[in-house]
Amino acid sequence: MESFYLLCVGILFIIATFDVMVGVSNDAVNFLQSAIGSKAAKFRTLLIIAAIGIFIGASMSNGMMDIARHGIYQPQYFYFNEIMVILLAVMLTDVILLDVFNSLGLPTSTTVSMVFELLGGTFALAMIKVLGSDGGYTMGELINTDKALSVIVAIFVSVALAFVCGAIVQYLARMLFKYNYEKQLKRWGALFGGFALTTIVYFILFKGLKDSSLMTAENKRLIQDNTLLILGCCMGGFTVVMFVLQLLKVNVLKIVVMAGTFALALAFAGNDLVNFIGVPLAGLSSYVDYTNNANGAAPDAFLMTSLTESASTNPLFLIGAGLVMVIVLFTSKKAHRVVQTSIALSRQSAGEEGFGTSPVARQLVRISLNINNGVSKITPQPVKEWIEKRFDSSDAILPDGAAYDLVRASINLVVASLLIALGTSLKLPLSTTYVTFMVAMGTSLADRAWGRESAVFRITGVISVIGGWFITAGVAFIASFIVALILHYGGMIATILLTIAVIVIIIRSQLSFSKKQKEDSQSTEQLLLTNKDPEQTLPLLQQHTREQYSEFVGWCAHVYERAAEGFLNDSASIMRKANNKVKNERQKLRITHRVSTVALSQLKEQDWIERGLYLQQGNEIVMDIFHSMKRMVEPAFEHIDNNFEPIDEKQLTEYNGTGTDIIRYLHRCQEAIANKTIDTGELSKESNDLIRRISQIKRNEMQHIRATSASKKVDLVYLTFLQESQNIVAYTINLIKINNKFQTE
């Protein structure tokens, strides 16, 4: 039996390796987003700075993981086999959960996921023990719910506090520095740089190194007793250094950004490392205690009282974890994607928005506009004019490709560092992920990056990310609860099978993500968004339009075929699939049209007006076709889903041949657009013929309605189906004609 539990410990460390990989991919956004978004240095330089911070933080961490040893469960009441089930459930659940969020490009909290996984696994085993003890145990004895409650409270505290503080400080900073900050930086740069670096040092001392092996009780007491003196010396010294650097023509804001990146990376590795290796280390400690002290006792008869004590970790584990973190930081594409999500939601410029809109976001924008209008009415005109001058971004100092400037990047890092350090010193459990993300959102709002054209999309994105944080807790608890039950009752076989399944899922996810990334990087949409050459804009835009129109017409043919099949054969399942496809297509069309509109603004002046009009007309026709498809599918699905009377045999016979010809016509249009072989004469003739045939069927249907005394519900739905079919045919030929003009040189 000992060999099985040794295997379990091995599994814990194997899964922990994967967990470190997905954990770094998720938490890289915490320390990289500001530096990458502002282009403070070359990407590789930023990675090297972050890697040094990670390695130092990991190496100096004491590796203690009290939360995994006794933070959620009371180990003195659990047997060795039960503890191993809980720890395995946590690791198997965590690696999948974090990978899902990484694949979606959404940052989440590794601390929250781990705490609620521990809570879920513990709850499953505690429930079994309580039910089997005949009143010998209570849930309150077995589970420590205070820690989970503190994490929940921390979510609300950190989200609201970070957003508000980020917005206020950024507003004041922009009033001081403006967008063209060169003149103000010469005057205030040394003082600002000294304050910023002092804040970062304060953050390193109270957060980054608070649990490191260097922070002995004596050192902690020394720092706490002399905090003001240390900070005062740092402020004076750093201000002088910043002044000298300014004389040497060094941009002190870049120094601040890179120092902040290093500090956050160090804090991440020094503190969040325990989220990834703490559980397997607790498992190893449990196994060592059992093998050394069990004296022949069975795994289900040996209580794990030893876990009530804290244990230091072999430095080799810390160094190994640090190396894995550094390697993942340089190689993980998912890490870069999570970072890009945060940058996209806070960037200064307009562009493709990765999120749609939501009723909550629309209402928040409306309320904000009303408040802004109210404040504007009572603000004196000279004050408004002065503020507008401070926020004039027409002459902003923005490096090529940067999402925002160095002023905002510095504020992001300074405010996040200060809040996390203050929270730590006051023993408030603020989340690093939540604070850094919400500070970035607050500063972008204050910097007027959320304009009327983008605010609703970005607020929806922020709500989606925040919603994901809350979902993390629930999913982590439920998934770990279920996995723990499976492991408890399934034993060795369930453990091996679940481990293999998790490893396969992670590998397949990585391969699938890499394939998708490669396809996206080669897509005309991505090429358009990254293109800086006006000479290439029109050819790329023509290719993009050709691909999108062709794909859309192919989608129409497919959905029309499903809708006709479902309606004519009275199949609710087929109609439901067609209806779902219509719902999913709307958001895709919006994104496609926004991309083409952004690219259109990059056209050369001689191409702007004429090409723009053709493109706008083409996009409007696409939406007309979509709405016709929607008006056709929705009533037909509702009719069949309500089990109303189907169409009769005569109607079915009359329509069948025409429906087949419409589908064939749409496929021909798709091929014509894709291959640039657009023969509008032949397709126009076919279109006119189909329109005449549908008109005749409608006339016959009107006579049928007059002649029959049966229910008219199906007849009205059938007429709508025919009318929208006619519209789709007519709109499609118009789309081909307009696209032909857009494509022609």
Classify 427 in phi/psi space as left (phi over 0), alpha (psi -120 to 50) or beta: left
Query: DSSP string of 187-198?
Result: HHHHHHHHHHHH
Residue pair 567/676 in contact by the 8 Å Cβ criterion: no
Q: Which two tokens stand for residue 225?
A: 């007793």
Strand positions, DSSP E, 71-175 = none
**CATH code of the region 528-743:** 1.20.58.220
Cα 261 to chain centroid, rounded:
21
10-residue averages of pLDDT along the chain (745 residues): 84 85 72 83 86 80 62 86 92 87 74 85 91 81 76 75 89 86 85 88 71 68 82 91 89 89 79 75 88 86 85 75 83 70 71 67 82 84 84 76 83 83 64 82 85 77 80 89 93 91 85 68 61 70 85 92 88 90 82 73 66 83 92 91 83 82 91 75 88 90 73 82 93 89 75
d(CA 230, CA 470): 39
Model pLDDT, residue 210: 62
The half-sphere exposure of 297 on its side-chain side, counting CA atoms within 13 A, is: 16
Residue pair 124/114 in contact by the 8 Å Cβ criterion: no
Nearest Cα to 240, choosing from 188, 191, 197?
191
d(CA 616, CA 611): 9
Model pLDDT, residue 518: 67
Q: Which two tokens stand for residue 570?
A: 């009275």
Q: Which two tokens stand for residue 451?
A: 């304009």
Phi and psi at 143, nearest 5°, equal -120, 135
Which long-range CB contacts under 8 A does 217-220 form with residues at least 24 apart? Answer: none
Q: Which two tokens stand for residue 553?
A: 């017409």
Domain ranges of the chain: 2-520, 528-743
Residue pair 434/159 in contact by the 8 Å Cβ criterion: yes
Helix 649-675 to helix 534-568 angle, to the nearest 10 degrees? Answer: 170
Residue pair 661/561 in contact by the 8 Å Cβ criterion: no
Nearest Cα to 411, choosing from 201, 202, 199, 203?
199
d(CA 245, CA 596): 45
The C-alpha angle with vertex 340 and arms to 334 and 344, in degrees rounded to 5, equals 155
Bridge partners of residue 61, in order along the sequence: 212
